[in-house]
Structure 1
Amino acid sequence: MAISGQTDTAALVAMLNERAAVNVRLALLADAQQWRLHHGHVTLDDDTSVKERAWRYSTACFRELRLPGPTVAALLRGDEQDVHGLQVVSPSPPASSASTYRLRGQEEWDRVTTPWPRTEWTISRDTNTPQPGHDLLVGDGPSFLNFDQALSAFLHQRPNDSSAGRADLWRIVLPQRAGWLEQITIGPDLLTAVVDGEVLDGAVLELSWAAGNQNHPVDGAGTYSFQLPHGLAHDSLLMLRREHQWLDWRSFPAPTYGRARDASVVWEQPGPELDLLLSNGEGQHLECKREVPEGESRKKMLKTVAAFASQDGGTILIGVGDDLQTVGLPEGANVDKQELQVVGMIRDSVEPAPPYELRVIDHDGRKVLAIEVSGGGQMYAYRDGQRAEFYVRVGPNTVLARHHEIASGFRQAPTGTTF
């Protein structure tokens, strides 16, 4: 989870003024003889060069380049600046403060993930600022259906979704490469961490849990291990720190429910992972089925898939009883065939296609099928014939969504979503 706070905009201006150059991505809108800033993304990274890009259309322009720090500081103050022949103006006076987030390595925040920790500052755009139109963009750059699609492709090289039209006027990123956890491998009786970084002198690697902790001095980049005689304890925390300041960390309350899996954490044996997943029981993000359901039970499961996707994700485990005991898929069952059966059920009954992954977990010689559903940032419908129904998760129950929940979901939906 991001650690958040506030920073005076004047402090950010001063920080930019002190830098010879910074990497910048600008999204601009045509405004009379000028270009109005719609979004500015600044990376305070002296070590990374930038490959310049320029997409220019009659109503919009996207530029990626390296600029002097004082030039970007002036833009942040709201002063008009010449940016390689473009007269760029701010749409409104700058806000007095910026939202501040300090993120660990491998933490996704607004579609960005880095191996190392980072600090991000965001300044919101005035809500009264005119928004970009929805005209086709054709010009000196790739063609797009509209501005939002171009912005998402330019910033993230990914298709448009609801976050592309975010309200950030500025986003400033400071990579923090003093030290980070490159990879963590969790086995039944051993945790191994690969540490990397540029300033690791005096760092300590600490594994802590409710009943105690272990410390391991770090003498440079390399591999460090912790014995786990009783396995990984629930709510364990692995932290790389120097005195009272953390450099990077990972927590293990349970595997992440249905969201993108942390690429830096490897479960050497999936059994302990399943135990952690089941430790909190069925609830907001977890539902268990003894076998691939039929009839009314199938409908209930598919409604839950739609609910998970409409909110912030969840996992359905097939091969686990109501008492949370692992029974596994039926003996002799063709696992591939059961996976295809689940894929077909979801394809035929949930619209639009929800974001999910199927995974087979081996546990004590039994196979469990996990349906890991990610939150899709919009509403997903369970289709029953010609009728589309919308559901949400309330604790361990899947219930019909209320009108305001459906309306809120559609306000977040990407352009072009239909049912």
Structure 2
Amino acid sequence: MANSGQTDTAVLVAMLSERTTVNVQLVLIGEEEQWQLHYCQVTLDDDAPLMERSWRYSTAVFLELCLPGPTVAALLRGDDQDLHGIRVVSPDPPSSSASSNQMRSQEEWGRVTTPWPRTEWTISRDPYALQPGHGLLVGDGPSFLNFDQALSAFLHQRPHDSHANRSDLWRIVQPQRAGWLSQITIGPDLLTANVTGEALDGSALELSWAAGHQSQPVDGAGAYSFALPSGLAHDSLLMLRRADQWLDWRHFPAPTYGRARDASVVWEQPGPELDLLLATGEGQHLECKREVPEGDSRKKMLKTIAAFASQDGGTVLIGVQDDLQIVGLPDGANVDKQVLRVIGMIRDNLEPVPSYEPRVIEHDGKTVLAIEVSGGGQMYAYRDGQRAEFYVRVGPNTVLARHHEIAAGFRQAQTVTTS
């Protein structure tokens, strides 16, 4: 199947109707006898653990339970249902189709990550449907400052993130455990992939890049290796496949700037990773600094970090010259103190403090400090005294943001927060 597409809702109704039971997480809003469905996540996995929960408040109800498949199918069809003594009503006529996405293993989407590939179907909520309240939630369940915090704790056991997408009314998740890549280890001259799965017969593992490819059959779960005589090529693709269908895959471009790294990929020596990072040179997502800046020169690095955070992320490499020569941090420098200096600069000068990760990379006896900045979906300011300055990245340059760019950034943050 394609990575994404559309599925007729009737197909999903029929699929649910055929299952004896399914695990669901229901979020309802309203009061007293009228409870409207705000969100329903269905997990089509008999092996998934279920922790039955019921949090009830005056304006919201959170339920996690096992329900008959036909009951959930009827709710998806738009039929009101009585569940645990609660009359649950659909907020609007059901959509005729759902968005479908086939996700590889370890891929995060909507705050969900699984060790194996999965297919997800989602149906968006009508933006004009009843919205949850904004007051304290106190009742038969943990107390929360507001609905958003309760929702994030219930669904993800994580603190509320204003950038998390909450626009789905339905989410149906089905694991695909035929085969997946549980770990990939990349060394200077060898790539080893650990393959796991329940139906690996007839599958193959392929490593491809611009100038060629290697392939080998997979005869069961285990470790499979590819020689890398010239190191891992830029833009390589590792694919676990059966005929023309992929089971799982990993892509190795220059490392994804400023985003969470895939925990299943282990770089035995960070040198190859740094080489890939530098392959495209300074640009929209990469800035190099010879050393941790002092005095007034700190502003240039900090405004670049603000620009990365205000757009789609980026990485600052400290210990690398503008000509991409790796010189490392100064000899005798205390690396921990260097990291703390950068952390202090960011904390004291950027508002709000963006999401970032400092990482130490060793390369040919030299130490490089990488500051990986996540794109935040809002504008981040560099504070110069009492004045807040906003910046954006244009190619390899950091420039003052224009009024319309600042306004667009704040509109985007407002849209994500209220979605």
TM-score by length of 1: 0.95
CA contact (8 A) 2:163 2:376 kept: no
Residues 383-403 of structure 1 show CA distances to partners (whole Å, capped at 9, x for unaligned) of 111112222222222222333
- For 1:295 and 1:3, how far apart are their aligned partners in 2? 49
Indicate the larger mover: 86-95 or 164-173.
164-173
| Structure 2: distance between partners of 1:379 and 1:93 | 37
Show the 5 A alignment for 1:38-49. 38-49=38-49
Query: What does 1:1-400 correspond to in 2, within 5 Å?
Result: 3-31=3-31, 33-164=33-164, 166-400=166-400
CA positional deviation for 1:409: 3.5
Question: What's the offset of the Cα at 1:111?
Answer: 0.9
Distance across 1 between alignment mates of 2:254 and 2:113: 21
Q: How many Å separate the matches in 1 of 2:227 and 2:394?
A: 39
> What is the CA-CA distance between 1:408 and the residue it aligns to?
4.0
Aligned-residue sequence identity (percent) comes to 80
Code of the aligned partner of 1:25 = Q
Query: CA 1:164/1:342 → structure 2, altered by over 3 Å: closer, same or farther?
Result: closer
Kindly state the Cα deviation for residue 358 of structure 1 after the two structures are TM-superposed: 1.1
Q: CA deviation at 1:291?
A: 1.3
Encode CA deviations 1:318-354: one digit per residue, 9 max, x unaligned. Answer: 1111111111112222222211211111111112222
| Offset of residue 99 of structure 1 | 1.1
SS of 2:49 mapped into structure 1: coil
Deviations 1:219-241 (A, max 9, x none): 11111111111111111110101
Structure 1 residue 19: deviation in Å?
A: 1.0
Check whether the contact 1:148–1:165 (CA below 8 A) recurs between aligned residues. no
The 3 A distance-change label for structure 1 pair 93 and 404 is: farther
User: Mind listing any 5+ residue stretches in structure 2 that lack a counterpart?
Assistant: none
Shift of the 100–402 alpha-carbon distance from structure 1 to 2, 3 Å rule, reads: farther
- For 2:318 and 2:171, locate their aligned partners in 1 and report how far apart those are by CA, in whole Å: 42
Given that residues 239 and 246 in structure 1 are in contact (C-alpha distance below 8 angstroms), is that contact kept between their aligned partners in structure 2? yes
Q: Quick one: which amino acid aligns to residue 110 of structure 2?
A: D
Please say which of residues 386-395 and 118-127 is displaced more in the overlay: 386-395
What letter matches 2:315 in structure 1?
T
> Does the 8 A contact of 1:162 with 1:414 survive in 2?
no
Tell whether the 8 Å contact from 2:137 to 2:146 is kept in structure 1 after alignment.
yes
Q: Tell me the secondary structure at the aligned position of residue 388 of structure 2.
A: strand
Amino acid at match of 1:347: R
Can you give the 5+ residue segments of structure 1 that lack an aligned partner in the other structure? none
Q: Distance between the aligned counterparts of 1:93 and 1:163, measured in 2?
A: 28
- For 1:165 and 1:213, locate their aligned partners in 2 and report how far apart those are by CA, in whole Å: 38
Superposition deviation, residue 165 in structure 1: 5.8
Change (3 A) 1:351 1:183: same
Q: Does structure 1 conserve the Cα–Cα contact (< 8 Å) formed by 2:95 and 2:123? A: yes
**How far, CA to CA, are the matches of 1:284 and 1:11 in structure 2?**
43
Aligned-partner SS, 2:254: coil
Q: CA deviation at 1:18?
A: 1.1
Task: Provide the TM-score with structure 2 as the length reference.
Answer: 0.95
SS at match of 2:206: strand
Contact 1:28 1:36 in 2 (8 A): yes
Which amino acid is the alignment partner of residue 260 of structure 1? A
Q: Which amino acid aligns with 1:152?
A: S
Q: Distance in 2 between matches of 1:100 and 1:232?
A: 33
CA deviations 1:275-318 (Å, max 9, x no partner) are 00000111111111111123443101101111212222110001
CA distance in structure 1 between the partners assigned to 2:414 and 2:157 by the alignment = 16
Shift of 1:413: 4.5
Per-residue deviation, 1:163: 4.1
CA gap of 1:412–1:102, structure 2 versus 1, over 3 A, is same
Task: Quickly say closer, same or farther: Cα 1:369–1:244, change in 2 above 3 A.
Answer: same
Deviations 1:235-273 (A, max 9, x none): 111010111100000010111211111000000011111
- Report the Cα distance in structure 1 between the residues aligned to 2:408 and 2:3, rounded to whole angstroms: 27
What is the match of residue 402 of structure 1? Answer: 402
Mean alpha-carbon deviation: is it higher for 192-201 or for 159-168?
A: 159-168
Q: Deviations over 1:198-226 (max 9, x none)?
A: 11111101111111111121111111111
The question of whether the paired residues in 1 share the 8 Å contact of 2:33 and 2:86 is answered with no
Answer with 27-36 or 138-147: which moved more.
Answer: 27-36
After superposition, the CA RMSD in angstroms is 1.7
Deviations 1:157-178 (A, max 9, x none): 1111224462111111111111
Q: Distance in 2 between matches of 1:122 and 1:334?
A: 49
Residue 414 of structure 1 and its aligned partner are, at CA, apart by 8.4
Deviations 1:100-144 (A, max 9, x none): 111111111011111111111110111211211101100001111
| Secondary structure class of the residue paired with 1:162 | coil
* 1:162–1:377 contact (8 Å) kept in structure 2: no
Could you tell which deviates more after superposition, 157-166 or 85-94? 157-166
What number of residue pairs does the alignment pair up?
A: 415
Question: In the aligned structure 1, how far is the partner of 2:334 from the partner of 2:293?
Answer: 15
Paired with 2:264 and 2:109, the residues of 1 have a C-alpha distance of 16
Name the CA distance, whole Å, in 2 between partners of 1:408 and 1:123. 27
